[in-house]
Copies of this chain bind each other. A is one copy, B any other.
Amino acid sequence: MRPTDYKNPDPPETEGICPFCYGNESETPAEIFSIRNPGTKKDKPGWKTRVFRNKFPALTGSPIDNKTNSPDHGIIIPGFGKHEVIVENPKHDADFPDMSVEDIESVLDTYLHRLNEYGKDSSYKYILIFRNFGYYAGATFSHPHSQLIATPLLPSTIEVEQQAAKEYYQQTVRCWFCDSINGDLNDSNRIIYCHGNIIAYSPFAPRLPYEFNITSGNHSPVFNQLKKEDMNSLAIVLKHSITKLKDLFPDISYNCLLHTMPESSLEQDREKSAYNHWHLEILPRLVKTAGFEIGAGFSINPTLPEQAAEMLRTG
C-alpha cells in the first residue's frame, strides 16, 4: 500500500450496502459453511451464521505449493494458511447482548466446526478465532463478525503461554488455569458470573482495564471437546457478561480472542492435555497503546481487577 492508500483514521463504512446482510451474499466470496434454516440455499438468505474466505486474506494457499521456499530455507517462509470471515447473525447491528442464547450457540457451533475443519491438519500450527467489535478494536465492517486465521507457525503469544503452562505443570503436576480458578478468585472477589461449568472472571493481572476471561471451571483442555450443555452455559455467560460490559460502556470497542490448541498439537504430545485449558479473553479497548507499552511490552492498567469485577458483576 502506498501513502494515499492509508487514511488516518479510516472511518468505518457508513453508507452503501452491507455485504454481510441478507440478500447481499453475492458481494462476498462463496460460502464455505453455514448454519441455515431448513430448505434455504447456499449463498442465499436463510442462514443463521455464514462463513466465507476473507476477500483480502492475510494468509492463503497451500503448505505444499511452494517446495523450493520451505520454512527450512532462510528466514522467509511462505505465507500459507487460512483466513475466513464468520458472519455471526443476519441482523446488521446484533452484538451478543442483542442475540438470543440460541443465536450465540450457533456462533459457538460455527467456531467448533471451523476448528474441527483445520485442527487435525498439522500443517496449521494454530487456529486463531477472534472478534473485533467496534471501530477502536479494528473492525472495518460494523456488521458483527468473527474471523479465523490458521497459521503455519505457532503465534509468539501462544508460545509464551504454552511454555509458562508447561513449566508450571512440570513443577507442580497441576494445571495453571485450574489453580488460578480454584485459588484466591473467590476470596478476592474477581468472579463476575457463573452458569453451569462456565465462569467469567477478572484475571489476577489484567493487561487492560475491565479485561475478563471466560472458561470452564473444571479442567477442559480444548474448546472442541465442550459438551452441549457447556456450550449452552458459555452462550449464557457470554450474553450476560458482554451485556454488563456494554451497560457500563455503551460505546465500547472490544476484542475477543479464543485460546485453544489444535487437536493435532495435543495428539503429538499427550502431556499438553494436562496443562492446556481453553479460555476466551475479552479485551475492552478503553486506553490507547503508546510508546511505553510498545517499547517495553508492559501494560499500565489504571483499574484494579477486583474493582472491575465488582462493576461488571453489579453493573
In the assembly, what is the distance between CA of A132 and CA of B295, in Å?
Answer: 11
Within 8 A of B (CB), among A72-122: none
Chain A contact-residue range equals: 35 or more
Q: CA A295 – CA B254 in complex, angstroms?
A: 13
Whether, in the assembled complex, A17 has its beta carbon less than 8 Å from a beta carbon of chain B, the answer is no
Any chain B CB within 8 A of the CB of A138?
yes
Q: Are the C-beta atoms of A291 and B209 separated by less than 8 Å?
A: no
Q: Which of A2, A155, A157, A294 is packed against the most chain B CB atoms within 10 Å?
A: A294
Q: How far, in Å, is A258 (CB) from chain B's closest CB?
A: 8
Task: Tell yes or no: A257 within 8 A of B by CB.
Answer: yes
Known contacts being A2-B307, A3-B249, is A155 close to B8, with CB within 8 Å?
no
Contact A300 B58 (CB under 8 A): yes
Residues in B with CB closer than 8 Å to A277 are: none
In the assembled complex, the Cα of A20 lies from the Cα of B86 at a distance in Å of 48
Q: Does A274 contact B (CB under 8 A)?
A: no
Q: How far is the CB of A127 from chain B (nearest CB, A)?
A: 11
Extra contacts, 4 of them, besides A58-B292, A138-B289, A155-B296 (Cβ < 8 A), are: A1-B302, A1-B303, A8-B252, A155-B295
Q: In the A-B complex, list the 6 residue pairs whose CB atoms are closest, starting with the nearest.
A: A138-B290, A130-B291, A155-B296, A156-B297, A157-B297, A257-B295
23 A–B contact pairs at CB < 8 A? A1-B209, A3-B248, A6-B209, A8-B251, A8-B252, A8-B286, A58-B292, A128-B291, A128-B296, A130-B291, A130-B295, A131-B291, A132-B290, A137-B288, A138-B288, A138-B289, A138-B290, A155-B295, A155-B298, A156-B298, A157-B296, A255-B291, A289-B289
